[in-house]
Chain A
Amino acid sequence: MKKIAVCYKWVLNDADIRVNEKSRDLDVEKSKPQINEYDRNGLATGVMLKESAGAAELVGVTCGADTEPSAKDALSRGPDVVYYLSDPALAQADSTASSKVLAAMIRSLGDVDVVICSECSSDEYAQQVGPRLAALLGWPSVSYVSAVSVNGDTLTLDRKLEEGTETVTVKAPVVIVVSPDVCDAPIPGVKQILSAKKKPSHALTLAGIGLSAETVKPLAAVQSVKAPLTSRKAVNLMADGESVAEAVAKLVKQLSTEGVL
């Protein structure tokens, strides 16, 4: 095998996203971007597969509005090189746009035998990019992959399904979509982080891969994103020294008014 490519997304850390209580708008000011948690297992799968397949190169691939800062982090997780595409036109990219760009990027790299995607991203959770990417490349797509082994250009993949585990074999080139349980994603060590600083990363442009801002425009425009509203009602029982019987009657009345009973 020549190249194994792992796609990853540079997303906001959702733990630090806050909700404005009045407008219910999301406040992302304190939230720093990071590599999508699910994609860390994808990168680890790439490392493992490169080794067992004796592949020449492991490549990290990403696209988005501002992906350059992701390269160092991605490189510390195993790839030999990262190709990133940063374009403001991708700020609202949906799965259609992302898969279009990733497919064009992978075509432009050439010699890619296996593309590894993870199931989803923590921001959109659309679970679309992997299969769409396979369709655009015209390659087979194998999803829900929980175990990977390789022999020459043939991959043997376990698919964890509801009814049981399905084992399939497939010849490269192929897009595989891995589940988080496919392998552990270790936190990079100091030496890995230091060596990442010396590895190369390359910027690609939409024009350079034969696309334009117009072709990656999202098909559905997002008008607003609001946090859900949960309403709670506090009912104070036995506060004024009422008896248990009175409190019970009050509670039953309250619950039936609310339609709970």
Chain B
Amino acid sequence: MADYDAIVVGAGLAGSTAAYCMAKAGLSVLLLERGDTAGVKNVTGGRLYGHSLEKVIPGFAQEAPVERKIVRERVSMMTEDSCFTADFHTPSRFDDASCASYTVLRAEFDAWLASKAEEAGCDLVSPAHADDLLRENGKIIGIKGGEDELTAEVVLLADGVNSLLGQKAGLKKELSPHHVAVGAKEILELPKGVINDRFGLNDGEGMANLFAGFPSAGMVGGGFLYTNKESLCLGLVITVADMSKSAVRLPDLLEKFREHPAVKPLVAGAKLVEYSAHLVPEGGLAMLPALSADNLLLLGDAAGLCMNLGYTVRGMDLAVASGHLAAQTVIEAKEKGDFSNNVLAGYKSRLEQSFVLKDMRTHKNAPHFIEHTPRMFSEYPALAADVFTQLFKVDGTPSRLMLKKALPLVSKVGFLNLIKDGLKGSRAL
């Protein structure tokens, strides 16, 4: 008789959601977290799309420690001395819980979600190490952590982007530099009222701003700025492949980004209270590992479930959904008394039928497009800056028609390139 029906490794969003759903269905669940408390080891840029958690805990945002609900979306193209921003403000269109998104701080949010799982009846242990899978005649029967051996019918690996246990289980390979990005982020403290004033927000309302160009110094990646209740998250994400060739270190790039003339006044007077960095899986479908094996499932970042389209970056809503669907699969396995891959493979089918793999499939060319269109990160931001400079520059020299102003600039990049990238981009993103 195993100690538990299920052991979940990692109390991030995927792990805690799975543990919550399984415990609620009456399964005996052990949830292990490496950090002192859930969330302390996790890093997010800042935004959770709420739809998938809404399905698990309806109305979660009423009780969960969310920071602000996003009502203002900004996308910026930045050069060293300019910044072109598209600003979309709508307090109503994304108001419904089914499509609302929130800024969150993981140390608080994950601790809350893990406590929900604990309330539902699962055993939560943190800090706890799961060093290896426990096997008997080749069959996975639990996990080993330090001197402890704990047994379960099924092990759910939600142990993050590196997922050493997933590698040990042979489900996934070591990460390739092309499949991951590295993110660095500062949390900058500012009074609530100052944030409201600077970003044109009311209490509880938030802004999300993604930046292309200058922040990543032309490398594949970008910057972000999110508003929390009383702090800002300012950060960068750049592919490891590019970063490993860069002469400038990531923290220095972040420093330059913070000092940029368009960013500096937004963060003026803020106090740096936290600095963190993390790997982000960005390979899309190309890096999708085997998601299940006998007595084993792979969830969230560990399964590489993440999408970066440049204008939206998603990982947490996919993680929550993967936890939800993994739990459904385990509950079915428990009913059938069969924890082999015959039943557990149903997890992948569930992901296929859900938005998770559908969206990743729809946008399967995005990682390739983004990585192979370096113009997005250098020439286009510069082009935007030049076009707007021509447009708004009044210096007494004879003016020309808009088209004549723009044409020579565009031809510098190349019409064909622009059309090609535009077409490819709109097909991939």
Contact = CB atoms under 8 A, between A and B. Distances in A.
Please say whether chains A and B are actual partners in one complex.
Answer: yes
Interface of A: 187, 189-191, 193-194, 197
B125 A194 contact: yes
Interface string B342-364: 00000000000000000000000
Nearest to B143: A190
Contacts of A197: 123
Interface string B2-13: 000000000000
Contacts of A191: 148, 150
Contacts of A190: 30, 32, 125, 128, 145-146, 148, 150
A190 B32 CA distance: 8
Interface in B105-151: 123, 125, 127-128, 145-148, 150
Nearest to A34: B36
B127 A187 contact: yes
A61 to B, nearest CB: 25
A190 B152 CA distance: 14
A18 to B, nearest CB: 9
22 contacts: A187-B127, A189-B128, A189-B145, A189-B146, A189-B147, A189-B148, A190-B30, A190-B32, A190-B125, A190-B128, A190-B145, A190-B146, A190-B148, A190-B150, A191-B148, A191-B150, A193-B125, A193-B128, A194-B30, A194-B123, A194-B125, A197-B123
> Which of A189, A190, A191, A194 counts the most chain B CB atoms within 10 A?
A190
Interface of A: prevailing SS: helix
Contacts of B30: 190, 194
A31 B32 CA distance: 23
A245 to B, nearest CB: 34
- Top 9 nearest A-B pairs by Cβ distance? A191-B148, A190-B148, A189-B148, A190-B128, A193-B125, A190-B125, A189-B146, A190-B145, A194-B123
A31 to B, nearest CB: 13
A187 B34 CA distance: 12
Given A190-B32, A191-B148, A191-B150, 10 more contacts: A189-B128, A189-B147, A190-B30, A190-B128, A190-B145, A190-B146, A190-B150, A194-B30, A194-B125, A197-B123
A189 B148 CA distance: 7
Contacts of B123: 194, 197
Interface string B142-175: 0001111010000000000000000000000000
A11 to B, nearest CB: 16
A191 B146 CA distance: 10
Nearest to B147: A189
A193 B36 CA distance: 13
A230 B145 CA distance: 45
Contacts of B32: 190
Interface in B20-35: 30, 32
Contacts of B128: 189-190, 193
Contacts of A189: 128, 145-148
Contacts of B127: 187
A197 B123 CA distance: 9
Q: B123, B125, B145, B150: which has the most chain A beta carbons within 10 Å?
A: B125
Nearest to A18: B273
A197 B124 CA distance: 11
Contacts of A187: 127
Contacts of B145: 189-190
B155 to A, nearest CB: 14
A191 B151 CA distance: 11
A254 to B, nearest CB: 29
A191 B145 CA distance: 10
A209 B235 CA distance: 56
Contacts of B147: 189
Contacts of B148: 189-191
Contacts of A193: 125, 128
Contacts of B125: 190, 193-194
Nearest to B273: A18
B336 to A, nearest CB: 28
Nearest to A187: B127
A205 B43 CA distance: 43
A219 to B, nearest CB: 36
A150 B47 CA distance: 59
A239 B211 CA distance: 35
B325 to A, nearest CB: 26
A232 to B, nearest CB: 17
Contacts of B150: 190-191
A197 B32 CA distance: 15
A187 B36 CA distance: 11
A187 B128 CA distance: 9
A191 B143 CA distance: 12
B276 to A, nearest CB: 16
A68 to B, nearest CB: 17
A190 B146 CA distance: 9
A203 B147 CA distance: 32
B9 to A, nearest CB: 11
Nearest to B129: A190
